[in-house]
Each structure stands twice: as C-alpha cells, then as structure tokens.
Amino acid sequence: MLTSASDLSSFSFYQRGTISEFLAFFSGLVSERTQPGERQSFTDVDKKDSEYVFHCYNRGGPESIAAVMVSDKEYPRRAAFSVLTKSLETFTTKVPASSYSNPSSISFPDLKEFVAQYQDPRNADSIMRLQGELDETKLVMHQTIESVLKRGEKLDDLVARSEMLGSQSKRFYTTAKKVCLNCRFLLAYYLTSSVL
C-alpha cells in the first residue's frame, strides 16, 4: 500500500485500529483482484444487505497502481469512481513513480482532503450536483405556487388572465385538467423542461 487516509469517526475509538487493519487488508485484496483498466465494486457476498462497498479502479499503465474507496452502500457508484479517478490523477502528478518502491517516503496530504471533501457525493459528480440544484429549485417553485394559491387565487383564473401563455398553452391546460392531471405535475414538468 502506497498511502491511505480514512475517516473512522463514526466508529468507537476502541474499534478504529481493528477496522483500519481490516480496511488495509481488504483494500489490498480488492486491488489485486481488479484487472488493469477495470473498475469494480465489491460487497460482502455473505451478507445480502452489506453496509459497505469497496470501489476499486486499477488504472494500469506503466505505474500499475490502483485506488480503493470504501463507502456506505448509499454512496453512488458513479461518484465513487469519479473520486478514485481524481485521486489517481493527482497522485501520479504529485508523487514520482520512483518513490513507489519506498512507500514510507511518500507524502500525499491531498488524500485526506479528498476524504473530507467527498463525504458529500455531490462534490464529486457534477451531474448529481446539478440534479440536486434542480430539485431544490423545483421545491421552491412548488412552495411559491402553493403560497400564491393559498391567498385565494385560483390557477384557472391565473391561466385565463395570463398574457404570457399562448392560446395553445391555455388549451393544453384546459385539456389536461379535463383528463384529471395534477396541475402540480404540469408545473413541475414545465419547470423541468424549461430548465433543460
């Protein structure tokens, strides 16, 4: 193992040493069993509802190095491999390959920063971050529309008086209402399609 970093704060102080040893052992095993150029995720096959997943990316190439990330099962796989790719790129840029033969001489503080920064998977995956922002915007729009409707205004009246909506949009609203579509769904759909 060339370097490692972990956040074991969710475990008791007395368990951390044992857990750290287990993580080091299993990370080595997982990286050995992942072929160069491959990305794999492993869980404990004996437990159907295993809490943790080992994600491994063996970059291969002349350096022949791999990175392993252990996360809870809720952490998205795409984000995990994004973190592994970034960490390998940063590592190979900052640490010369000549030092790989003497792991104790390797200093790579960036890894601790990665562990802290990527606790939230949205920091690792821009698509996930954008989806989160879109969901927040949609929620604010729902709340705004509900507050307007709570003041006694009816959506039917707003649509009828609107000069921004064309006649085709007004007909669509009327038809949709007749087929019992939920107007919140229509507004959410409109918001989603207008943002994209």
Total residue length of the chain: 196
pLDDT at 191 over 60: no
pLDDT at 193 over 80: no
pLDDT value at residue 148: 66
The pTM (predicted TM-score) of the whole model is 0.59
pLDDT value at residue 158: 65
pLDDT value at residue 151: 62
pLDDT value at residue 188: 46
Tens digit of each residue's pLDDT (9 = 90 or more) over 40-78: 888 865 566 678 888 888 888 777 888 888 888 887 888
Distance CA 92, CA 127 (A): 26
DSSP string covering 86-133: HHHHHHHHHS-GGGGG-GGG---THHHHHHHHTTSGGGT-HHHHHHHH
Between the alpha carbon of residue 75 and those of residues 16, 92, 192, the distances in Å are 21, 25, 25
Tens digit of each residue's pLDDT (9 = 90 or more) over 100-148: 788 877 777 777 887 777 777 777 667 667 777 777 877 777 777 677 6
* Residue with tokens 């900052």, as numbered in its chain: 94
Instruction: Tell how strand 52-60 and strand 39-42 pair up.
Output: antiparallel
Q: Domains for the chain: give ranges and CATH numbers.
A: 16-120 (3.30.450.50), 129-195 (1.20.5.110)
Greater confidence (52 vs 193) lies with 52
Tens digit of each residue's pLDDT (9 = 90 or more) over 149-190: 666 566 666 666 666 667 777 677 677 666 544 444 444 444
pLDDT value at residue 192: 39
Of the chain, the end-to-end C-alpha distance in Å amounts to 44
